[in-house]
Structure 1
Amino acid sequence: MSTVPTSPTTPDMVEHPAHYTRSHPGMECIQLTGDCTFCMGNCCKYLWRYRSKGHPVEDLRKAQWYLRESIARNEPVRWTLTQTRILIRLRGEAERDGNEPEYRVWRDLAIGDVHEALLALADLIEHMYEYDTEKETQR
């Protein structure tokens, strides 16, 4: 069995990909998603990384799709203590960044209000679409 060594300066794209570790220092996405239902885990994954891969609106739309699917499947929302602490930190980061729609998404997910989270996610998508459009016109 052959293994490919990674350089100490090369990010580990398998065990610790930058788009999951850089977004929220001190936390890893798997700590939040590991105990989630499939659809909720994917929703959180795309929310987690939406600013890190260069396609924020696309990632947010994927999160929205998975959240809708989670609602349609009537998946239960039960957070562990660790997950709750992470959601509180994510909410706090969004609040400090002045990102009110993202704050609302994390807040609503934390309290299990998936319908309000879906509305907040739509607002976040609109917010990021406007931001991307503004960036494009400045080029």
Structure 2
Amino acid sequence: MTHIAGALVARGAMLATAESCTGGLIAGACTDLAGSSRWFERGFVTYSNAAKTDLLGVPAALIEALGAVSEPVARAMAEGAVARSLAQVSVAVTGVAGPGGGSADKPVGTVWFSWSVAGQTHSEMVRFAGDRAAVRAATVRHALARLADLLH
């Protein structure tokens, strides 16, 4: 986490998180670090579809057409977090943590990630194994590890 903090401070940038399946765990991991107010601006916990639309500006039609767990929604979440905050960098996650809610094309453990860094949006999908706690913990680790890569 200190490498993320250092990279953001060096850029003079702030971070915002937009979280669905993790319910604020990424923001919590960030603010566990003393001095995080220098680089962490805010966290959006947008667990419901309505929250994604109301707080981040994700088009409701997009969610309806593709589902909340999709690349376009994750990208819209990341871009909305920057647009609706004072941050210049964001990370967004939307997924199926389980134990229910999965489907054939989006089984439990499916998570879409998106990061907005230096005006560019990056995204990827990962499928994690394990129970709800394991999926959520792996999601936090992956979100922050990839953010660190993108910042360097």
Instruction: With the length of structure 1 as denominator, give the TM-score of the two structures.
Output: 0.31
Larger Rg: 1
More relative contact order, 1 or 2 (CA 8 Å, 6+ apart)? 2
Q: Which has the higher strand share?
A: 2
Q: Which has the higher helix share?
A: 1
